[in-house]
Amino acid sequence: MKEKAQVSERFREFKAELTSRPSIVLGMGLRGFLRLLSLKNKWILALVALIWLWTLGFYVLLSTGDYPCENLEFWDSSDFKRCQPLVYYNDLGLGGVRLFLVTLAAISSSGLIANDMTDKSLHLYLSRPISRLDYLIARFIPVFLLLMCVTALPNLIVYVNQWGEAGLEFDWIKNHKWLLLDILILGSFYSASYSIIGLTFSTAINRESWAAGAFFLFVYGSAIIIEIFYLIMLESGVGDDRILLLSVIHLLDIIGFYIFGTQPFFTAFGLEGIDIADIEVFGVFILIIGSCGLFVNWMISQMEANK
């Protein structure tokens, strides 16, 4: 009886020690990331494994010396080590990533907000001491971290491996510090961009599988249509490189090549070099990502106000 009374007293006097908002958001994000990597998400794990194997295979192939550096006009050497700081990492990353990153982003991001909207648990999250922006960041973190695992992480491992081949000399790191930064920026750029676009589809179409399908079709569909249209225009002599900015994949690739300081090169149809002003490229990018952010924010604010 006395014990019961003590329990009751403790329950009554309970005052929770609550952490700060950033800790709550980070915690939500990390728990979301671990949930994405749980065994329940077999497709996600399979895709991550596939991208890693692909990158590994690519790396093994490159190390044979058959890397097509000599095919690219803007390099004057087929020496593997010399072309490595330029496109090697970009190709290595994008090789596997180009094929499967969009699929992975579509599958992993589609349920994050859509499920909260469908079961309406979004209302409960937003009644907690976090703002709408905090909630969005918390839902962004899991998919961002997952995509970083397949964009930046394999390249970082290759980087460390090459450092090992160079005898683990500190000078090698000093000489390649910008490459390290580029790897991280490129990975973050692709991961953040696809995460934001994925979350936009997850919000707009609040059914997980439909959101994933729409995201996939939008990104790949627009890429194929735009590239074919671009080629036709080019053949008829009225081509304008700016058309490529209408395709998310092309836009991100153009910026990706900027990050590595190389000339854009599109492998699908062998296009080399494009002529678009930096301000146009970054303007379109900011417009797309900004619109996605504003749209998601607006949709969730509508959910807040309505039941």
Partner 1 sequence: MIEARNVIKKYGAVTALDDFTVDIPEGKIGILGPNGAGKSTFVKIALGLIRTTSGSITVLGEDLDRNTVDIRRKIGYMPEHDCIPNSMTGVEFLIEMGLVTGMSLQSATQRTHEILGHLMMGEEKYRKIEEYSGGMRQKIKLAQGLIHGPEVIFLDEPTSGLDPKARQEMLETINGLTEVSGTNVLLSTHILQDVETVCDQVIIINNGKLQMQENVKKLMQRQTDVIQVRIGGSTEDFVKQLKKSGITATSGGRGLHVPYVNDKTFEQIVDSAVKSNCQLYEMERATITMDNIYLEVVD
Angle at alpha carbon of residue 155, lines to 151 and 160, rounded to 5°: 150
Whether residue 240 contacts residue 233, with contact meaning beta carbons closer than 8 Å, is answered with yes
State yes or no: residue 17 binds partner 1 (CB under 8 A): yes
State yes or no: residue 31 binds partner 1 (CB under 8 A): yes
Whether residue 86 contacts residue 261, with contact meaning beta carbons closer than 8 Å, is answered with yes
Residue 238 has a CB neighbour count (10 Å cut-off) of 8
State yes or no: residue 115 binds partner 1 (CB under 8 A): yes
Q: Which range, of 91-99, 130-138, 178-186, 187-195, touches partner 1 by CB under 8 A?
A: 130-138
Whole-angstrom distance, CA of residue 33 vs CA of residue 277:
37
- Out of 81, 82, 128, 177, the only residue in the binding site for partner 1 (CB under 8 A) is 128
Among all chains, which residue has been given the structure tokens 């080019």?
A: 234
**Roughly what angle, to the nearest 10 degrees, separates helices 248-259 and 222-235?**
80
- Looking at the Cβ atoms of 121 and 291, the one nearer to partner 1 is 121
Three-class SS of residue 249? helix
- Out of 15, 39, 275, 279, the only residue in the binding site for partner 1 (CB under 8 A) is 15
- Looking at the Cβ atoms of 87 and 141, the one nearer to partner 1 is 141
Minimum distance, C-beta of residue 8 to partner 1, in the bound complex (Å): 6
State yes or no: residue 305 binds partner 1 (CB under 8 A): yes
- Looking at the Cβ atoms of 130 and 259, the one nearer to partner 1 is 130
Whether residue 62 contacts residue 69, with contact meaning beta carbons closer than 8 Å, is answered with no
Strands (E), 235-297: 265-266, 271-272
Give the x/- contact pattern for partner 1 in 48-87, rule: CB under 8 A: ----------------------------------------
- Looking at the Cβ atoms of 8 and 291, the one nearer to partner 1 is 8
- Looking at the Cβ atoms of 122 and 179, the one nearer to partner 1 is 122
State yes or no: residue 124 binds partner 1 (CB under 8 A): yes
Whole-angstrom distance, CA of residue 271 vs CA of residue 81:
25
Q: Name the residue type at position 7.
A: V
- Looking at the Cβ atoms of 124 and 168, the one nearer to partner 1 is 124
Minimum distance, C-beta of residue 109 to partner 1, in the bound complex (Å): 18
